[in-house]
Amino acid sequence: MAATGPLEISSLESWLWKAACVIRGPVDAPKFKDYILPLIFLKRLTDAVRAVAKVNPRLQGVIDVTDFNATQAGQRMLDDDRLATLVQILIRCEG
């Protein structure tokens, strides 16, 4: 999903709170940032890559080929649970 402009502070706070609630329990509060901030960075990096590809036609189809929110017949192609599992596997993978 492309960025639609600046995020309001109240929306950001609500979004961060929901993210923290998801990992509350298994992760201590001081460690929330270690999980949430990298994922926010990756999300924004995706929006930036798409924008770069949009203004540089030679890069279209090269750096913007995956849409993690893709749908087919109105259904998400990869549900949130499977996507979350994939992210966990990739996080644990050492390169």
d(CA 30, CA 20): 11
What does the pLDDT read at residue 39? 77
What does the pLDDT read at residue 74? 84
Segments of the chain with pLDDT less than 50: 1-3
Residue 83 half-sphere exposure, CB side, CA atoms within 13 Å?
11
What does the pLDDT read at residue 55? 94
Residue 78 CB burial class (10 angstroms; 0-12, 13-18, ≥19): middle
What does the pLDDT read at residue 81? 80
Instruction: List the beta strands (DSSP E) in 1-95.
Output: 71-72, 75-76
What does the pLDDT read at residue 1? 42
Q: Residue 69: which of 88, 43, 37 has the closest Cα?
A: 43
